């Protein structure tokens, strides 16, 4: 750009973009640790606010009517979602955010095609093609992910014979349309075919993935949405979109790799392996009997323990029991018990799900321990309390080389002197695997709603 032609408003816009970019980078750094994650979110919000203000003041606004309408409608919907969506539904709300962001990128791409396609050079046409493809497939893929998480779409993998071949053929057709459009930008039929195939590919990409792999899928969709935003930035010549989208895209991809490592899976295995359906077919029994414990006996164990570790899982989220576990932990600490929380990286339905829930209950960050930190402490722990977790504490991953989850890192709660598992019933986990932990001699089962069980445990501990 020729800065000599800049007006004061354009200088202001570029200055706010610089500030926004710095805030985005700092927020990403702060969100890498629970102690600073909340401040990181505030910085990200400030960066987005600066970017919006800079665009509105520095951009060439033709009409404010649709902008004001969009800001009003979006603010109302965002405020309603923030107030009404429970923490248990945060994964599906996040998936919807990915869908909306990606759809916005796709719509901008369509607008650029209709208005400015003849003015775009080869580089920007290529960016426009990527924007359309990534935006469209992320939109439908995120909607399917949200449907699986909400239970609207079956959580099990939806598969059919030759599905991978169909997916590859769809991807090839999409790529073919992209290259044809790149060399023939006025081929509107090819452009819209590419758009439609991308929407279809998003559905085909996510439906064969089981719910057990949703944390990785969420990270990948986040990455796709970010890359779509970056491509939009290239098309529009918008620096802050390029920076923010690139940060989002690559951080999401890195997180996906880390999540796969935590599950001992590869990304290709997640995308094409049908993990959920394979596991669901495994019907062998771990053998033995699940030993039920009474509320009073469980309270007695906790009250006279020296060290207790709480292990939260998705059952904690569904029961909205985060405040109840904090109250029980506070009561134990008043009795001199050392209390810690063990956090598995893929516990829940999205990365950091358990951290978010416990933070809502004001559990101190210093009490949260990652898997590598807490595993060496289980042998010296008197009681490990597993709250709605299943697959992340399954010892078969460590002990049974023939298990379909062999090698997946787990929280080694079975090494504690005593284990109390809070479950609604005797069902299996999200992946469908039976858990030998529940049949071990050191394990006792406390059945019922997790929130109710924790509340009654706290009352019982108080009277011990």
- Provide the 3-class DSSP secondary structure of residue 433: coil
Which residue is catalytic, options 213, 248, 391, 414? 391
117/125 Cα distance (integer angstroms): 8
Asked whether the beta carbons of 437 and 412 are under 8 A apart, the reply is: no
Asked whether the beta carbons of 365 and 292 are under 8 A apart, the reply is: no
Q: Which residues contact 364 (CB under 8 A, 6 or more apart)?
A: none
Asked whether the beta carbons of 242 and 230 are under 8 A apart, the reply is: yes
Run of H or E residues at 418: none
Asked whether the beta carbons of 240 and 233 are under 8 A apart, the reply is: yes
330 labelled catalytic: no
Question: What is each CA distance from 127 to 122, 141, 226, 446, in whole angstroms?
Answer: 9, 21, 13, 55
pLDDT of residue 212: 64
- Provide the 3-class DSSP secondary structure of residue 122: helix
The closest of 384, 402, 404 to 393, measured between CA atoms, is 384
Give exposure, 121-149, as e/b (b: 16+ Cβ within 10 Å): eeebbbbbbbbbbbbbbbbbbbbbbbbbb
pLDDT of residue 142: 92
Give exposure, 12-31, as e/b (b: 16+ Cβ within 10 Å): ebbebbebbbebbebbbebb
Asked whether the beta carbons of 336 and 317 are under 8 A apart, the reply is: no
pTM of the model: 0.76
pLDDT of residue 428: 59
pLDDT of residue 197: 96
Q: Which stretches of the chain drop beneath a pLDDT of 70?
A: 1-6, 34, 59, 87-88, 211-212, 263-266, 269-288, 425-432
pLDDT of residue 11: 81
∠ CA 178-184-188 to the nearest 5 degrees?
75
Residues in the chain: 464
pLDDT of residue 265: 65
Question: What is each CA distance from 410 to 19, 78, 269, 276, in whole angstroms?
Answer: 41, 36, 19, 18
- Provide the 3-class DSSP secondary structure of residue 343: strand
Question: 425 — phi, psi (to 5°)?
Answer: -160, -160
% helix / strand / coil in the chain, to the nearest 5?
Answer: 65, 5, 25
Determine how many CB atoms are found less than 10 A away from the CB of residue 265.
20
∠ CA 276-133-180 to the nearest 5 degrees?
130
């Amino acid at each position: 750009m020729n800065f000599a032609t800049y007006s004061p408003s354009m200088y202001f816009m570029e200055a706010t973009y610089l500030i926004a970019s710095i805030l985005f980078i700092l927020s990403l750094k702060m969100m890498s640790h629970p102690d600073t994650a909340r401040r990181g979110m505030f910085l990200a919000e400030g960066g987005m606010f600066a970017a919006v203000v800079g665009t509105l003041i520095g951009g060439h606004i033709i009409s404010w009517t649709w902008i004001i309408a969009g800001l009003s409608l979006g603010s109302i919907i965002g405020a309603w979602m923030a107030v009404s969506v429970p923490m248990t539904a945060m994964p599906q709300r996040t998936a919807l955010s990915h869908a909306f962001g990606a759809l916005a990128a796709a719509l901008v791409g369509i607008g650029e095609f209709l208005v400015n396609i003849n003015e775009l050079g080869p580089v920007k046409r290529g960016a426009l093609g990527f924007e359309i493809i990534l935006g469209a497939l992320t939109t439908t893929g995120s909607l399917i992910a949200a449907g699986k998480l909400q239970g609207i779409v079956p959580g099990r993998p939806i598969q059919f014979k030759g599905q991978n071949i169909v997916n590859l053929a769809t991807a090839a057709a999409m790529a073919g349309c992209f290259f044809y459009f790149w060399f023939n930008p006025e081929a509107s039929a090819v452009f819209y075919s590419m758009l439609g195939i991308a929407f279809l590919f998003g559905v085909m990409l996510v439906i064969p993935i089981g719910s057990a792999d949703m944390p990785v899928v969420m990270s990948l969709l986040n990455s796709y949405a970010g890359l779509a935003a970056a491509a939009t930035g290239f098309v529009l010549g918008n620096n802050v979109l390029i920076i923010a989208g690139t940060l989002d895209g690559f951080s999401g991809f890195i997180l996906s790799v880390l999540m796969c490592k935590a599950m001992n899976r590869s990304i290709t295995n997640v995308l094409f392996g049908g993990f959920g359906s394979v596991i669901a077919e495994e019907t062998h029994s771990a053998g033995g009997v699940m030993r039920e414990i009474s509320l009073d006996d469980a309270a007695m164990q906790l009250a006279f323990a020296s060290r207790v570790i709480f292990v939260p899982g998705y059952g904690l989220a569904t029961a909205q029991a985060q405040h109840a576990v904090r109250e029980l932990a506070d009561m134990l600490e008043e009795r001199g018990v050392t209390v810690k929380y063990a956090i598995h990286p893929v516990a829940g339905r999205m990365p950091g799900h358990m951290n978010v829930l416990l933070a809502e209950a004001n559990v101190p960050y210093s009490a949260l321990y990652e898997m590598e930190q807490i595993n060496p402490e289980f042998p010296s722990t008197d009681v490990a309390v597993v709250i709605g977790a299943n697959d992340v504490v399954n010892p078969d991953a460590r002990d049974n080389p023939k298990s379909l989850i062999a090698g997946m890192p787990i929280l080694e709660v079975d090494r504690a002197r005593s284990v109390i598992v809070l479950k609604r019933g005797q069902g299996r986990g999200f992946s469908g695997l039976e858990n030998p932990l529940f049949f071990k001699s050191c394990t006792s089962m406390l059945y019922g709603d997790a929130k109710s069980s924790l509340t009654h445990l706290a009352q019982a501990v108080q009277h011990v």
